[in-house]
Homo-oligomer: A and B are copies of this chain.
Amino acid sequence: MLSNTTVYGLRAMIHLANSDQDQYISISKMSEELKISFHFLTKILQKLTQNNLLVSYRGPKGGVRLSKKPEDISIYEIVIILETRPMFTECILGIPGCEDDAPCPLHEEWRPLRLQIERQFRATSLAHLAEKLEIFGKRLA
């Protein structure tokens, strides 16, 4: 469903939303806590930084932090940046040009499901997920 890259990015973002917003969090520390390869996580967070979801800072005491409040970041934004395929628009049979007025046989069944997934992703904020992490002790690794 989601690529590894996206999954790692989501976990890292949830972790950041659950950390102190006023300081930069070191990528190496995060990679240890989330059990994600440091170099790989660096690559992923770079992409999120380039797309203005994160602010980075180099040097001692450096790291990354969220560019806006966790309430204002949806997991939809993260997925769109990290996922290479257009998962919220593509045809489930992979047929080029499949649209509402030129649909594949599965189009009518798939479209509402796809839309519902998109709505849920848009409606789910990092703050919401971080809160669950706090209250219910849910896991990221």
Contacts and interface: CB of A to CB of B under 8 A. Distances in A.
A138 to B, nearest CB: 5
A11 B139 CA distance: 39
Interface residues of A, number: 37
Q: Copy number in this complex? A: 2
Nearest to A113: B117
Given A93-B7, A93-B10, A120-B113, A105 B1 contact: no
Given A1-B1, A1-B87, A113-B116, A105 B93 contact: no
B4 A107 contact: no
Given A10-B93, A93-B11, A116-B116, A105 B138 contact: yes
A125 B65 CA distance: 48
Given A1-B1, A113-B117, A138 B107 contact: yes
Given A102-B139, A105-B130, 4 more contacts: A1-B90, A2-B94, A14-B105, A113-B113
